[in-house]
Amino acid sequence: MAKINLNINGKDQVVDVDPKTPLLWVLRDHLDLVGTKYGCGMAQCGACTVHLDGNAVRSCVMPISTVANKKIVTIEGLSKDGDHPVQEAWLKHDVAQCGYCQAGQIMNASALLKKNPNPTDEEIATAMNGNICRCATYVRIREAIKTAAVSLR
């Protein structure tokens, strides 16, 4: 066990855990931030995507010791009122079916649009390819990302 300083959604906090614990389980089990989802535990499905210093990362394979003092943003902290343009576009296109993977999709999409404000369909598909949606809402996700890109401009 070790005390680790974290900055999550703009808030500094300290957790006392096994330093090998993945960020995903610290968020879910210790900090009650359950919007970040467990899907595979091996960076294959993207359900656990969060932002680490602005980059989309897979929290399920990220030992907590490696993220100390970095800026972590989860779905709960993406916007104050759930009104990030990506979230709004998701609602407008009524993207979700079961909804389980969508937090990860949204976190990946919002990181993509920060780096590439005007992605082509191919760039969207490439950037989003690590995020599985079992309900297969891919076509709507693509359209929502394009809508969000327009409103972010």
Residues in contact with another protein by the rule CB under 8 A: 1, 17-18, 21-22, 25, 28-30, 32-47, 56-58, 74-76, 78, 82, 87, 90-91, 94-103, 106, 121, 124-126, 128-142
User: Strand order of the sheet with strand 71-73?
Assistant: 11-17, 2-8, 71-73, 49-52, 55-58
Shortest Cβ 56–another protein spacing (Å): 7
CB closer to another protein out of 70 and 144: 144
How far is 74 from 9, CA to CA, in rounded Å? 7
CB closer to another protein out of 103 and 149: 103
Q: Read off the DSSP letter of residue 22.
A: B
- Around 43, how many Cα atoms within 13 Å sit in the side-chain half-sphere? 10
Shortest Cβ 117–another protein spacing (Å): 19
CB closer to another protein out of 4 and 131: 131
* Structure token pair of residue 95: 């993207």
